[in-house]
Amino acid sequence: MPFALNSPCRLSLFGLLATLVLARAAFADDHHSPRVQLLPKYKNECASCHEAFAPGMLPAESWRRLMNNLPKHFGTDASLDPATLKELTAWLATHAGTGKYAREEPPEDRITRAAWFVRKHREVSSTSWKSPAVKSAANCGACHTGSDQGDFNEHGVRIPR
């Protein structure tokens, strides 16, 4: 055996691991995650018209309201068959936002009106928001180059000119 069970070396290894796990959790919380593996059906049904927004970006109650109102979804009909609707609503509620992502139900249940979203984007100029390449604040991928992978790290941001 290389080290005994209670050797200082073994203990510090545990310490290191624990630190890594905690750091990872903190990082994840800061980036709209824990990065949940997106349900293929969710991507299929919801990402035809817009990005497959991470379920952690809205609190459960907002998701429920949105899912109960899909025939009038921000001005378009996004209705689903009853079985799919039930499955996706339950999945979204299970993985809905916690912590600062659940502190409020944002106005109109829009992710882009949540306090954390507004604060994170306060330095983005109105010209950038209006750029044809951006078009909508819901178009995450216009600037967040890794958004389709759930990566919203600031280093991956490229604001189109």
Positions in the binding site for another protein (CB under 8 A): 48-51, 71, 74-81, 134-136, 138-139, 142
Nearer residue to another protein within complex by CB, 3 or 74: 74
Q: How far is the CB of 121 from another protein (least distance, A)?
A: 17
- Minimum distance from residue 118 beta carbon to another protein (Å): 19
Q: How far is CA 94 from CA 15, 88, 118, in A?
A: 31, 10, 25
Q: How far is the CB of 50 from another protein (least distance, A)?
A: 4
Q: Which is nearer to another protein, 47 or 157 (CB)?
A: 47
Nearer to another protein, 69 or 76 (CB): 76
Whether residue 112 contacts residue 125, with contact meaning beta carbons closer than 8 Å, is answered with no
* Closest to another protein by CB, 28 or 80: 80
Smallest distance, another protein to C-beta of residue 30, A:
26
Taking the chain, what is the end-to-end CA distance rounded to the nearest angstrom?
A: 60
Give the ranges where the chain is alpha helix by DSSP (H).
8-30, 40-46, 60-68, 82-94, 115-120, 126-130
At residue 157, the 3 state secondary structure works out as: strand
Distance CA 96, CA 60 (A): 5
